[in-house]
Structure 1
Amino acid sequence: MRWIRPLVVATLAVALAACTTSPTGRSRLTLLSEAQLDQMGAQAFAQYQRDTPTVGGAPYRYVQCVTDAIVATLPPEAGDGGWQVRVFDDDSANAFALPGGYVGVNLGLLEIAENQDQLAAVIGHEIAHVLARHANERASTQTATQLGLSVLSSAAGLEGPGGEQVMAALGMGAKYGILLPFSRRHESEADVLGLRLMAGAGFDPRASVALWQNMGRAGGARPPEWMSTHPSHGQRIAGLEAEIPGVLPLYEQARRAGRPPRCG
């Protein structure tokens, strides 16, 4: 087992070197490069387009208008504004943004988001995931967790059926104690950053509360929050309501600057 200690030391050294700070000041682990993330985003977006039909016309122009308004206010390091937008012929109320500058919105979401402000709440939230490098952090955390379990298994000599059961239990503990809470933190952080993005683009941040109320009415049964990758609707709405007063000045400033878009 002499090799285990050097491996642990080397792993810790890499992890410490890869620790960065999120836009909200939270420490995070990011092992992947921006080029790797952009390539992964491009591949995922291309695959999604192969698997799901896209929609043009008015729905596309509508989503493009809202996205362009938000992207126009992003800092230079977030891209040159050339984000690709697609609307997918899918009835589920879902949307996503990917590293490299890709935004996808399902038709089903346009049934839930009643106006451009509510749609901006979703798009701002998804773009915030990209700006905060949540995909990098998620992949890095999973990699570090799997490596840690592997080292623990070797160090403890967990072999055979009994060892497999112990490792399965450890894996469940890692999933529900580390990976899922990280995802809930990502969602809450994207809510905060998304409010700033939509308000700075001239969309009313108060519409985010109405959007999630719509989501709650339209949604079905949900797993217990501790088993979910997302906060409960009630917790999410409460978090948004707490943050809205702080971003209303951004919204008013954008309105005075003539920035409120008219996407229809």
Structure 2
Amino acid sequence: MKGLVRGVLPVVIVATMTVACQTVQTTGGGAVGVQRSQMMMVSAKEVEQASRQQYQQMLAEARQKNALNRDPAMVQRVRTIVARLTAQTGVFRADAPAWQWEVNVFSSNELNAWCMAGGKMAIYTGLIERLRLTDDEIAAVMGHEIAHALREHSREQVSKSMATGLGVSVAGALLGVGQVGQDLMSTVAKVTFELPNSREHEIEADRIGVELAARAGYDPRAAVSLWNKMSTQSAGAPPQWLSTHPSHASRQRDLAEYAARVMPLYQAARR
């Protein structure tokens, strides 16, 4: 899942990017066993800083349109669910519970939700109301989005773009060489906020998301019902804000399998 967040980042964040490639393990595997190593060519701090600034800009625009947190009961409902989910993030990485997590509700008919690097989140009223989401299904949505942030998928996409699409131009950007730096800034914005996640990223977020939900006391099987609701809204295909991979059938099977795997965690949390 990824929200269709557009726009150019308000600040140039490439001035201090590191060209050196490092292989990292952003999270522990958890009960679902996500343990893939990732190649990074930009620091988490830089991506998180850009995300925070973009988030504040989006909140300001929503306020101007009177489209931010208009229903106090809905906002409280979402924040209660998210607080329970983020309290479980230490299972995957020790630093995550101390992140400056934040979630807001945007008034829009879109089927949309997202979590930026560092934990800045939003869910749209269209997603909650049009799909008549239960608390368990909201937990499935937000657990999935939180998982993208824990795994630093945006940072990874930026790094891949630098490695495969920009090549030695990165060196020019580090020196602040005019248009090269501007081009790299636009690339960072695009891979972070617009491009769909890869199949690999979606599977990882699905699996970590169901574990977060289960540990927080939300039924992990709701991820399957959520996916079915998504598909019915788009004539059998997922909405544009979701990646087209994996396929509907394979995703259902994987979600059902991993939901079953973490059911003991859910049952323990409910006691």
Normalised by the length of structure 2, the TM-score is 0.71
Choose from 106, 113, 117 the match for 2:136: 117
User: Where do residues 134-213 of structure 1 align in structure 2 (5 Å cutoff)?
Assistant: 134-148=153-167, 183-213=198-228
Deviation of 1:50 (Å): 3.0
| Residue of structure 2 equivalent to 1:154 | none
When structure 1 is superposed on structure 2, of 116-125 and 36-45 the one drifting more is: 36-45
Q: Residue 51 in 1 paired to residue 51 in 2?
A: no
Of 129, 143, 148, which residue of structure 2 is paired with 1:129? Answer: 148
Contact 1:138/1:183 (8 A) holds in 2: no
Query: Structure 2 vs 1, CA of residues 183 and 113 (structure 1 numbering), >3 Å: closer, same or farther?
Result: farther
Give CA-to-partner distance per residue, 1:25-65, whole Å, 9 cap, x none. Answer: 11211122221122022022112223332124111111111
Aligned to 1:21: 25
8 Å CA contact retained: 2:211, 2:262? yes
Return the structure number with greater helix share. Answer: 1
Secondary structure of 1:19's counterpart equals strand
Quote the residue 2:119 is aligned against: 101
2:88 paired with 1:88: no
Q: Relative to structure 1, is the Cα distance of residues 22 and 81 closer, same or farther in structure 2, using a 3 angstrom cutoff?
A: closer
How far the C-alpha of 1:191 sits from its partner, in A, is 0.2
Distance 1:73 1:25 in 2: 18
Q: Which structure would you say has the larger RCO, counting Cα contacts within 8 Å and 6 or more residues apart? A: 2
| 1:241 and 2:251 aligned | no
- Name the CA distance, whole Å, in 1 between partners of 2:112 and 2:132: 11
Name the CA distance, whole Å, in 2 between partners of 1:125 and 1:113.
Answer: 18
Aligned partner letter, 2:39: L
CA pair 51-125 structure 1, distance change in 2 beyond 3 A = same
- Superimposed CA distance per residue, residues 230-253 of structure 1 (whole angstroms, 9 cap, x where no aligned partner): 423222211101212211111011
Larger-Rg structure = 1
Q: Is 1:30 the counterpart of 2:34 in the alignment?
A: no
TM-score normalised by length of structure 1: 0.73
Distance (whole Å) between structure 1 residues aligned to residue 108 and residue 164 of structure 2: 34
Question: What does residue 153 of structure 1 align with?
Answer: none
CA offset at residue 82 of structure 1? Answer: 4.1
RMSD after superposition = 2.5
Determine helix, strand or coil for the equivalent of 1:55.
Answer: coil
User: Which residue number in structure 2 is paired with residue 156 of structure 1?
Assistant: none
